[in-house]
């Protein structure tokens, strides 16, 4: 009896599946193979609106999959066909320059809508300058995929923040979703917010009481996350009118809860601390450039693996690497990419601990260490110069660069002295032979 019931159910199920596959040829098969994504889609707003697999994944579908999956990865440009306003805003802000921000090479990305001409002149293998990222180029393909592109794909991927097959907005609206990228030593905005008053109150009392990331950076739901930001990457300066325009936008947001004058004072403090911190980085920059000019970096750029873009030269600008550096540069990297950024972003995110203890304190400590390293390298040089002088003065015959002669001379003089000490030579014989040995070496 039970077996018959099961049989009937199976037949009904297959008929249903068959019907489904007329409209939607993928689900019947993928329901077995990848049930999770099919289930997610089925309960999504997309399914409700009859936006089906091929709509996003490409229209060159064949039953034998011969040319299917040419759009395995659904890029932002696909989403843009329906979500035009969100896409336009997304592309206009910093999230829209995900690749170019990191200037990463799309050849390492999984298949995208973008062609080679994003980075290369048509027909050329040489990357255009603006598409180059030395940090990216020095990584293994695995680290490019797992370390760089997970975040820097944001330009092309709406599912960096949104869920992939469901349309559950609560996921993209969870501020924690920002933490995958906005975390850690380079720019811990999520952590700053989390332990700021804003974050504490948000976590306790919710969205209506205190702001999360989107409240300030996506006001009124805009997808241009750079609205209200008054400076570029690493504090790069905007023109005064852009700065003023964007600051006004942010103050409008702050004014939902605070008096404008209070907010303005705090943001102005952030501006000042950005400039003050940058001046410390610039001092470190000039110490390093001076050391390089004097040939004192250890090892020198000439003695290190070549920089992928600039070769055996010092690079401490936008294309600075975190590998193949001297100690002084390794310290500078931390100042520039970690502590400087944190010192002012800590203020803009209302977190005194980040501004001061994670930013300002290590920024100044590390500058001290760079100054100290420079003193050490200069002291070494002074000593080297003095030894060179001594060699030149007293021992002009002994080339200070080739130690071999000196080593054998030293050995000869030592052996002679041993013979003197053993009594094999008289003092006079010793003096005579010593003079001859020295003469033989050009003294």
* Options 20-28, 49-57, 116-124, 407-415: segment touching a second copy (CB under 8 A): 407-415
Q: Could you say whether residue 364 binds a second copy (CB under 8 A)?
A: yes
Q: Does 259 bind a second copy (CB under 8 A)?
A: yes
Please identify which residue in 19, 85, 252, 258 interacts with a second copy, judged by CB under 8 A: 258
Applying CB under 8 A, among 44, 174, 226, 319 the residue interacting with a second copy is 174
DSSP character at residue 145 = I
Toward a second copy, which CB reaches closer, 89 or 109? 109
C-alpha dihedral, 55 to 60 to 65 to 67, nearest 10°:
-140
Cis geometry, peptide bond prior to residue 54 (ω within 30 degrees of 0): no
C-beta neighbour count of 303 within 10 angstroms: 11
* DSSP assignment of 395-426: -TTS-SS-HHHHHHHHHHHHHHHHHHHTTSS-
Question: Does 415 help bind a second copy (rule: CB under 8 A)?
Answer: no
Choices 44-52, 92-100, 215-223, 409-417; region in contact with a second copy by CB under 8 A: 409-417
Residue 195 as a binder of a second copy (CB under 8 A): the answer is: yes
Residue placing its CB nearer to a second copy in the complex, 209 or 310: 209
- Shortest distance (Å) from residue 101 CB to a second copy: 15
Among 19, 65, 128, 197, binds a second copy (CB under 8 A): 197
What is the nearest approach in angstroms of a second copy to the Cβ of residue 210? 10
Which window, 18-26, 77-85, 93-101, 368-376, contacts a second copy (CB under 8 A)? Answer: 368-376
Does 215 engage in binding with a second copy (CB under 8 A)? no
200 sits near a second copy (criterion: CB under 8 A): yes
If the CB atoms of residues 224 and 343 are measured against a second copy, the closer one turns out to be 343
Quote the least distance from Cβ 67 to a second copy, whole Å: 19
Vertex 222, ends 118 and 48: CA angle to 5°?
Answer: 90
Tell me the chain's radius of gyration from C-alpha atoms.
Answer: 33
Spell 2-24 as b/e; 16+ CB within 10 A means b.
eeeeeeeeeeeeeeeeeeeeeeb
CA 180 – CA 178 distance, rounded (Å): 6
- CB proximity list for 10: less than 8 A, separation 6 or greater: none
């Amino acid at each position: 009896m039970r077996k018959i019931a099961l049989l009937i159910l199976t037949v009904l199920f297959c008929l249903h599946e068959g019907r489904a596959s007329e409209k939607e040829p993928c689900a019947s098969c993928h329901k077995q193979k990848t049930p999770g994504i099919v289930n997610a889609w089925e309960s999504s707003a997309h399914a409700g609106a009859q936006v089906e697999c091929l709509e996003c994944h490409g229209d060159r579908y064949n039953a034998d999959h011969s040319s299917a999956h040419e759009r395995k990865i659904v890029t932002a440009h696909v989403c843009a066909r329906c979500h035009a306003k969100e896409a336009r805003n997304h592309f206009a802000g910093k999230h829209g320059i995900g690749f170019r921000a990191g200037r990463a090479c799309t050849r390492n990305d999984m298949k995208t809508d973008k062609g080679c001409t994003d980075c290369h002149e048509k027909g050329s293998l040489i990357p255009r300058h603006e598409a180059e990222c030395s940090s990216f180029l020095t990584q293994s393909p695995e680290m490019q995929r797992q370390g760089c592109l997970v975040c820097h794909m944001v330009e092309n991927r709406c599912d960096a923040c949104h869920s992939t097959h469901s349309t559950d907005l609560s996921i993209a609206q969870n501020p924690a979703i920002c933490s995958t990228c906005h975390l850690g030593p380079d720019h811990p905005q999520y952590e700053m917010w989390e332990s700021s008053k804003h974050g504490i109150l948000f976590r306790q009392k919710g969205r209506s009481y205190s702001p999360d990331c989107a409240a300030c950076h996506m006001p009124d739901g805009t997808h241009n996350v750079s609205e209200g930001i008054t400076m570029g990457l690493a504090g790069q300066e905007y023109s005064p009118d852009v700065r003023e325009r964007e600051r006004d936008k942010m103050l409008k947001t702050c004014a939902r809860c605070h008096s404008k004058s209070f907010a303005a004072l705090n943001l102005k403090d952030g501006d000042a601390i950005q400039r003050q911190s940058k001046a410390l980085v610039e001092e470190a920059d000039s110490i390093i450039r001076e050391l390089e000019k004097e040939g004192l970096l250890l090892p020198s750029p000439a003695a290190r693996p070549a920089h992928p873009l600039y070769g055996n030269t010092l690079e401490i600008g936008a294309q600075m690497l975190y590998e193949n550096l001297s100690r002084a540069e390794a310290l500078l990297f931390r100042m520039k990419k970690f502590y400087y950024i944190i010192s002012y972003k800590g203020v803009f995110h209302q977190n005194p601990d980040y501004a001061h203890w994670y930013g300002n304190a290590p920024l100044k400590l590390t500058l001290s260490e760079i100054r100290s390293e420079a003193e050490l390298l200069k002291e070494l040089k002074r000593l080297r110069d003095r030894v060179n002088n001594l060699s030149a003065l007293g021992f002009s015959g002994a080339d200070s660069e080739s130690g071999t002669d000196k080593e054998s001379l030293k050995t000869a003089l030592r052996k002679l002295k041993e013979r003197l000490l053993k009594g094999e030579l008289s003092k006079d014989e010793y003096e005579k032979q010593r003079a001859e040995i020295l003469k033989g070496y050009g003294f």
